Chain A
Amino acid sequence: MCQRDDGGISTYKPRLVTASGHVLIVGASAAGLSTAEALRRNGHQGRLTLLDAEPHLPYDRPPLSKQVLAGAWEPERARLRGQAQLEALGAEFARGEPAVALDAAERTVTTASGRVLRGDAVVIATGLTPCRLPGQDGLAGVHVLRGLDDALALRALLTAGTRLVVVGEGVLGGEIAATARGLGLEVTLAGMGRAVLGDQLGDEIGGLLTRTHAERGVRLRLGAAVDALTGEAGQVTGVRLAGGELLPADAVVVAVGCRPATGWLEGSGLTLGDGVECDARCRAAEGVYAVGDVASFVHEGLGRRLRLENRTNATEQAQTVAANILGADRPYAPIPYFWTDQYDVKIQAHGLPSPAAEVAIAEGDPEQRRFAALYREDGRVTGVLGWNMPKQARLLRQRTLTTPPLPPT
């Protein structure tokens, strides 16, 4: 048993998994698969099982709204690992086998087909479920984009001349709008916020991104709530905004955010808030861990809970979870980081940029559409943003952001 000085933050006892123990991972996307790989790399020789609701080999999600949706990549190219690499893991993959229940005290997981599996450690990596609009399920032509099948179904609709309405001005909505414009569609982007990515990056940077979309010919309806989807004979015909305007549409993408996929954990004994609530070591209960989009963890540097919906978090957190399963005592206190590619704009955001911060250009020139910016709150740097300046942003991050601690927000 390892020694800990947890200062009251780490609430669950570690449970050492021996070399012969069984680690059961629920979810085989980036976070789950990375956890499995890190376990093997760290010397775990025991049984390893990955349950996944997906029928596909594990794939990466960031390309779905870009290269896969554009048709530039065939789906196979988005695979996280090849067949041989997956086999080399020595893990049992149960695909198309969603977990439907967990007993945290017993560490047993029940699957949809009725299998019951018990792990010496259980890792929850079930990710997110996209939010939907009322009435969308009965209408053809309305899509969310979360999984590979979503991307392929949507891709089939994206032919030049099609009128597409994207609902949601966040990262996913912006990327889909950009991809669709690149394919020659008529695109309208509607969202509640004042600017594309305004909720994430503030009005100044969000405003610049909004102008980029306008210059590329996207019709923007921002600060606009959706009142209803309209349809005829089961096929979507448009999106009606709260102000009364009707946006005609042959296809609609709903990108209004996601919820942690925790429905299957009701009654598990775990604390479910905004995701699976974990301590600073990513433990949700003794021997039960959560990783990736679904995990709400205590960030010791910030002194508060954080749940990160980004790709880098999935793999970084997996390293910590795997180490802790095997007896380490590592708090997870990352510098958050996400990127988004829209048209020829590559945005990289380190730390916790927020609309509340003051933004100052540190390098480059926004007029040249190539710059790096610092976000400051109470005089302290809280975030670094690169706009077509990834290396410079990374260097700024190294100079200005530390872990831990990040400044409180």
Chain B
Amino acid sequence: MKVAVDEDKCCGAGQCVLIAPEVFDQRDDDGIVILLEPEPDADQHAAVRESAAVCPAFAIEVIEEA
């Protein structure tokens, strides 16, 4: 799995950090998403998919392995 984030779309909600703190963080100054792990381990995949699904700005793209 590969993860990409769109900082321009991100509204700093932090939903992703609540769900998958090992993969996402937020910048201190404006709350915009920081991608900690662009190729997360398998045990993180479900949380990453959930993060992408609830992101209110649809700013997280998950590319599943073919």
Contacts and interface: CB of A to CB of B under 8 A. Distances in A.
Q: Do A and B come from one complex?
A: yes
Interface residues on A, range: 20 to 34
A312 to B, nearest CB: 5
Interface secondary structure of B, over-half rule:
loop
Q: Is the interface of A mostly helix, strand, loop or mixed?
A: helix
Given A337-B13, A390-B12, A315 B56 contact: yes
A319 B52 CA distance: 12
Interface string B1-39: 000000000011111011000000011101100000000
B28 A339 contact: no
Nearest to B58: A80
B11 A62 contact: yes
A133 to B, nearest CB: 30
B3 to A, nearest CB: 15
Contact of B27 (A80, A81, A348, A391): A391
Interface in B28-64: 28, 30-31, 49-50, 53-58
Contact of B30 (A41, A319, A390): A390
A346 interface: yes
Contact of A390 (B13, B18, B54, B57): B13
B54 A348 contact: no
Nearest to A314: B56
Contacts of A38: 53
A316 B12 CA distance: 16
B54 A339 contact: no
Interface in A254-304: none
A227 interface: no
Interface of B: 11-15, 17-18, 26-28, 30-31, 49-50, 53-58
